[in-house]
Amino acid sequence: MLPFKYRIKKKKEFDDVFRSGKRIENHFYLIKIKKNGLAFSRFAFVVPLRLSKKATKRNKIKRRLREAVRSVFYQIEKGFDIIFISKERVKESEYREIKEGIIDVLKKAEIIRSQ
């Protein structure tokens, strides 16, 4: 699980990234990214209600996203706030595909280092 230190928690911070963050997307996610001036990166995960009316299913998707980000955390550049907004395709995807989608969108944002 991704430690709470690395999550965007305050509404003001969340809104700031949404308002002025750079937008990048692939077939799994839309991300909003903005420099945060901290020594570490923070993340937030949004699974829209239209993907599933059931909170348990949305929460399961969020848990998978957090775990996928945690597994590549050491490769991600420090000093960014990143919000992942899930698209419809995530709902039917396996964990491996979710992780590959995260790596792909972070490469597009140019904030992930190669292994």
Residue 114 within a domain: no
- Give the residue-averaged pLDDT of 57-85: 93
Q: How many domains does the chain have?
A: 1
Q: What is the domain range of residue 21?
A: 7-108
Q: How confident is the model at residue 102 (pLDDT cuts 50, 70, 90)?
A: very high
Residue 113 within a domain: no
Residue partners of 25: CB distance under 8 A and separation at least 6? 31, 87, 105
Residue 41 within a domain: yes
For 15, 55, 115, the CA distances from 64, given in Å and listed in that order, are 23, 14, 22
Element (H, E) at 19: helix 11-20
Residue 71 within a domain: yes
Residue partners of 1: CB distance under 8 A and separation at least 6? 63, 66, 67, 70
Residue 2 within a domain: no
Cα 46 to Cα 15: distance, rounded to the nearest angstrom: 13
The reported pTM is 0.91
What pLDDT digit, counting tens, does each position of 21-65 carry? 999 999 999 999 999 999 999 999 999 999 999 999 999 999 999
Residue 47 within a domain: yes
CATH of the domain at 45: 3.30.230.10
